Structure 1
Amino acid sequence: MPTPSAAGGRPGDGSPAALAHALLDTASITRAVPDRMRVAPAEPLPAGTLSAAQELLDRVTLALGLPEVEVVGEPDGLTAVELAVSRRLALRAPGAVADGEQEQAVRSALAAFPGPAVLVPARDGTPLRCWVAGPENAPAVAVVSACGMPVGLVARWLGALAAEYRVVTWESRGLFAAADGTGLGDLADHTLDAQSEDVLAVLDGFGIAEAHALGLCGGAVVALAAAARSDRITSLSLWHGDYELGGEAPKTAHQRDVESLLTMVSRGRAQAAAMHRLISRPSTLETLRPDIAHYLIHPYATPELLRRYGLLNGAIMSADCRGLLDTPQPALVVTSDRDTTAHPAGSKFVAASLPRAELRTMPDGDHLTAFDGGGELVALAREFLHSVTVPERKGT
């Protein structure tokens, strides 16, 4: 994922550049929470510098058009969400800011890949926050991320593929607040049908006739459903998919636990609020990878987000995928025996059942490394994409 280094700052160095990039990277949360977000510095600030840190933070957030954030001296009493944002911001005592440095930092952050969202209407009118990159006339790839995850989690995939492909992605319907401060908007439909229709709506929004669908985790299910719905999805790659397959494949303890949680919180606002209080405890961060915790915690940031996540991801995790496995498009199915999040047996069954699928079981990597877009995975994706998009190789 691109870092602030090009703008003269490195993550956590206290510069306006690093701060601007980190603020945009955590904006999905600060826009979604109803109250002013509290954050603590990376380490105790020298006496008298807390107000200077707040002043710099205020100037940069204002210039970026983001909600105000309050600096507190110590992390004690902060929620898991506030701690995750604090760790990403990594506030330090600000040094001297050169003339024009703040303005340049803000311009660079706003222009950084993957850039600002483009709003595309879903077929039921729900606004979808979308991104597009790469040559307009190149073969298209729709990156279908895991439900509820901010775009930053797949930014490396977008950057790795955009040199050769027209790459599009979007954030889950109803789970991300608009930049204009109007809030989450209505969740008109949470079904898997609606989420698979969103794949096609995004293609429509960017004038793309057909695309390869690259699905990650629950996004693999959405990609499968979109391919079953339309031959505009010409091929698939399904990475560490989280599938419901009845008795055909076991599930991990994590899958069973998350399904139970989603069922509970989707029942109503009272249940979601009660579970949110438990998830807000700082101990929640112990189970999240530190460098991406601010992404992973997004759908748990408020009771309403959690309730909607229960509906949306619950629809994905409970959908019996066996009815989608006659999908005729060529497919690459990728998993790892080290995945303790989504059971690799599910991917193996899917690959064995799809008419034109190839299974690759990677020797290394867990569930989350699939999102990292590392060199070996990108090379595998490019090899498969080449086989299904180069005219003389298609169908071989």
Structure 2
Amino acid sequence: MTTHLQDDRAPAAALLSLARALLDTASLTRVVPDRMRVAPVEPLPPGDLRALHGALARVTDALRLPGLDVVPDTGGLSAVELCVSRRLGLDRHSLDGCAGRLEDAVEPARAGFPGPAVVVPSYDGVPLRCWSRGPVNRPAVAIVNACGMPAGMTAAWVAALSSSYRVVTWESRGLFAVDDGTGPGELGGWSLDVQASDLLAVLDGFGIRRAHALGLCGGAAVALAAAAGSDRITSLSLWHGDYELHGEAPKTAHQQDVAALLAMVARGRRQATEMYRLMRRPATLDGLRPDLAHYLIHPYATPELLYRYGLLNGAIMSADCHRFLVAEQPALVVTSETDTTAHPAGSKFVAARLPRAELRTMPDGDHLTAFDAGPALVALARDFLRGVTAPDRRDT
């Protein structure tokens, strides 16, 4: 009987895993203008390929996602298509799973984070795709993600904090498709101040008066700007921040290279299209962490996204952060000596200038480790949050 139960559950587990992977890559499949091709991880007979194509269509239809074309192998696939293929991990087990009961997988998959977005208009009317998790009567934590990254990048932090806090987050303006897959929403403005105001608009959208802002990478600069301009941000934690300090802190080679790329593609759509042709090559994935590649490549997925990313993230990386260092809220600034993406000297400078900041330099961990929300980082965040949240600081 045990064997029978295991065999019976295997297709259901495979189907749920596939549904989650399809939703996890939906930011890409919804925003690319052409139907995306995906390849299995192992060669399959032609009959199995045709069956997998039909079965996959059944699942994407149930999830209300764009359809995918299953091709025999990865030859000729773009970097984005390779990312999606690797995340889906299609094989013979996928075909078995697709034969299962869709209702057993679709709703559980959609119920997980990020799940369906709540669309909140920012102050200039630009729609923001937002999420909220956790008890509504608990202090609020607004997670400010790195510019251009899908909400899934914050999933570990949401899971770690939403049992004790009301956690909200959103995706960068103008870089993500509406749910019907008609392309990215309108961009509107793109300055750092505009992006900081999006944080307050998200709080308004969920009826939240005040919140702790947890900023990651360039999101740290956005959180810092919001805190400098509004006492609705009651405290800050800034994780591996990327700050422009006009020569008062060194930058890594990565920061310099990305800043140059963004400045180039922000000049116009022609320049963005030329760079996109290079970045769609599979070699683009060589330096990306495999489990995060489908997130990291999002702002490079189309020429239009790359152009807008140049404007948005370029504004973050070039805005002088000195003027925000007057923020008087309690702040935790976290970095690592082994971060070769955002130079730790920037975080040290910010921590030394903020009136009420404490610096924690972790002994190990690279830049992307901050998004993993490992036990040591979560313990640090929770300890700080306990000290800065109190019963009189309820979020609504």
Class of the TM-score when normalised by the shorter of the 2 chains? over 0.9
Q: Which moved more, 1:92-101 or 1:125-134?
A: 92-101
User: Residue type matched to 2:252 in 1?
Assistant: T
Match of 1:215 in 2: 215
Match of 2:87 in 1: 88
Change (3 A) 1:9 1:29: farther
Match of 1:240 in 2: 240
Q: What secondary structure is seen at the aligned counterpart in 2 of 1:333? A: strand
Q: What secondary structure is seen at the aligned counterpart in 1 of 2:291? A: helix
Change (3 A) 1:29 1:254: same
Give runs of aligned pairs for residues 110-129 of structure 1, distance below 5 A: 110-129=110-129
User: Residue type matched to 2:332 in 1?
Assistant: L
- Cα deviations across residues 286-320 of structure 1 (Å, max 9, x unaligned)? 11000010000000000000000000000000011
Match of 1:141 in 2: 141
Give the CA deviation at 1:323: 1.1
Match of 1:151 in 2: 151
Match of 1:303 in 2: 303
User: Are the counterparts in 1 of residues 32 and 183 from structure 2 also a CA contact under 8 Å?
Assistant: no
Change (3 A) 1:250 1:25: same
Runs of 5+ unmatched residues, structure 1: 1-7
Distance 1:162 1:391 in 2: 17
Match of 1:271 in 2: 271
Change (3 A) 1:353 1:365: same
Q: Taking every aligned residue pair, what percent have the same amino acid on both sides?
A: 69
Give the CA deviation at 1:386: 0.4
- The answer to whether the aligner puts 1:52 opposite 2:51 as a matched pair is yes
Distance 1:111 1:10 in 2: 20
Give runs of aligned pairs for residues 28-47 of structure 1, distance below 5 A: 28-47=27-46
Give the CA deviation at 1:364: 1.2
Q: What secondary structure is seen at the aligned counterpart in 2 of 1:174? A: coil
Give the CA deviation at 1:170: 0.1
Q: Scaled by the length of structure 2, what TM-score is found?
A: 0.94
Distance 2:329 2:13 in 1: 49
User: Are the counterparts in 1 of residues 195 and 222 from structure 2 also a CA contact under 8 Å?
Assistant: yes
Match of 1:23 in 2: 22
Distance 2:66 2:155 in 1: 23
Give runs of aligned pairs for residues 164-179 of structure 1, distance below 5 A: 164-179=164-179
Change (3 A) 1:98 1:358: closer
Match of 1:260 in 2: 260
- The answer to whether the aligner puts 1:382 opposite 2:382 as a matched pair is yes
Distance 1:321 1:193 in 2: 11
Give runs of aligned pairs for residues 296-335 of structure 1, distance below 5 A: 296-335=296-335
Q: What secondary structure is seen at the aligned counterpart in 1 of 2:106? A: helix
After superposition, the CA RMSD in angstroms is 2.0
Distance 2:8 2:236 in 1: 38
Q: Scaled by the length of structure 1, what TM-score is found?
A: 0.94
Distance 2:95 2:235 in 1: 51
Distance 2:113 2:24 in 1: 11
User: Residue type matched to 1:148 in 2?
Assistant: G
Give the CA deviation at 1:13: 10
Q: Figure out how many residues of one structure are paired with residues of the other and give that number.
A: 386
Match of 1:63 in 2: 62
Match of 1:4 in 2: none
